[in-house]
A and B are shown apart, each in its own frame.
Chain A
Amino acid sequence: MEDYKAIIIGGSAGSFQVVTRIISSLPKNFPLPVFLCLHRLKQVRSGFVEALSIKSSLPICEPNDKDSIKPGMIYLAPANYHMYIELGNKFSLSTEEPVNHSRPSIDLSFISAAYNYKRKLVGIILSGANKDGAIGLKKVKENGGLTIIQDPNESQVSTMPNACLQIMKVDHVFTTNEIIRFINKLA
């Protein structure tokens, strides 16, 4: 199996349960950083990390600007900021205009991660009600990374995974269980 360095997951409506199941399946010694870019309310800063943390054995945080990326951490894009992965293994945050009405934008996080990790990145798009993430996942593929979408038949809202299928050939269409099995093989 390819020697992956990071996993990035994007999701919106209908993705919360799936994300919770995925991160709760990860073992304590999971060796990669996991980036979560999920659509969320702009004005509500607190509560999301706490909700995700309940079932996770890995620590979860919303990174500050310029924080270093550490393995075995789960990073959630903070409310009302775009989250970028910068060269030098650091985060940067941005208040640039929303993209697809979204800040954080899944596309922007994925594009920056694709640029920095190239073929060492696994990109996963889950259930969601708009097309944010499709262009980002395509960039992951163009940079040699591995691309996965949640099976549209299983997704609570299939617009987001379907938008990926419309513009690219994804490597895997997986159910939640298959995603979990795949990621755990990376440990």
Chain B
Amino acid sequence: MINDIGIVDTKKIIATVAETYSLDLSNLALTALKRRILKVLNDYNYTSVVDFVHKIETDPRLFEKYLSDGMVDTTEMFRDPSFWRDLRDIHLPELIKTFNNIKVHIPGISSGDEVYSLMILLKEAKLTNRVSVTVSSLSQLRLDALKAGAQYDFRKMENSDANYKRFNEAAELSNYYKTENNKVIMDASLVDSVEIIKGSYLKDLDLSGFHLVIYPNRMIYFNSTLQDKVVEKLVDSLVVGGLLCVGVKENIEGAVSAKKLLCLNTNEKIYKKRTA
């Protein structure tokens, strides 16, 4: 087991990924990136970084797996239940009142926790026919997994179940999943209508016209330079009056494009695009 990875090795891996796949990891927050690399190294039983770098260079299919496995899973649906409650009770109704039909984007999905949370919310609020949902990810594996019904370790469902209770105390999250061999499998029909797009919303995708972008706890893995670019891209993808939701402990107010935003909900970090 490798316990630690130094800055030299980290930079070597970043350079290799950039050269081989034109994928830039250099603007990721360093501590978390190092931990993700360590996780992949140890999950695949590497004993040296040199072997790992060689595999990245020579095996694109394996690299795709590393990329998918290296992504951060919060493995938690309805994280910050008060956010989902406010979305359901205040912000979605207002958006629908203003725009009638709305388009939602959840960029950069990993385990799809927010996608399932949102689709359950929409179903319960009987809003499925008023709201169309698009999700995007760099990882085809993750998109495929989402459509097949997100899977969770049964022992780790405790948090999601507790979160959901705080979101809707009248029901149980287990109404939406089945349990098989210690695995929880979400009801895939929830995401039937979800449009999936493979690619980087930053680089490959030209997305616009959204009324709501849900993007919690992704930019915490970026440095300020990348966060700035991403905020700009996401703000551009919104219509005026549209909302950007980030994680409750994220601060995007230093970003250049933040001047186009108005903070609607300080506790839940929900921002409204006030100008083009």
- State the A residues within 8 Å of B (CB): 42-43, 45, 62-67, 78, 80-81, 84-87, 92-97, 108, 112, 115
Contacts and interface: CB of A to CB of B under 8 A. Distances in A.
Interface in B70-129: 72-75, 79-82
B31 A95 contact: no
B33 to A, nearest CB: 10
A62 B251 CA distance: 12
Contacts of B227: 66
B249 A43 contact: no
B2 interface: no
Nearest to A78: B249
Interface of B: 29-32, 35-36, 72-75, 79-82, 159, 162-163, 166, 217, 219-221, 224, 227, 247-251, 254
A179 B74 CA distance: 36
A95 B30 contact: no
Given A64-B251, A65-B251, A96-B72, A84 B31 contact: yes
Nearest to A99: B35
A112 B250 CA distance: 19
Contacts of A62: 249
Given A43-B159, A93-B247, 14 more contacts: A42-B159, A43-B166, A63-B249, A65-B219, A65-B251, A66-B220, A66-B251, A81-B249, A86-B29, A86-B30, A92-B31, A92-B32, A95-B217, A97-B73
B40 to A, nearest CB: 13
B81 A43 contact: yes
B74 A45 contact: no
Most buried by A among B29, B217, B220, B249: B249
A94 B72 CA distance: 9
A102 to B, nearest CB: 13
A65 B220 contact: yes
A65 B250 contact: yes
A28 B71 CA distance: 42
Contacts of A92: 29, 31-32, 220
A95 B159 CA distance: 13
6 contacts: A45-B80, A45-B248, A80-B80, A84-B31, A86-B30, A93-B250
A43 B163 contact: yes
Contacts of A66: 220, 224, 227, 251, 254
A41 to B, nearest CB: 10
A115 B7 CA distance: 11
B251 A67 contact: yes
A96 B81 CA distance: 19
A65 B255 CA distance: 13
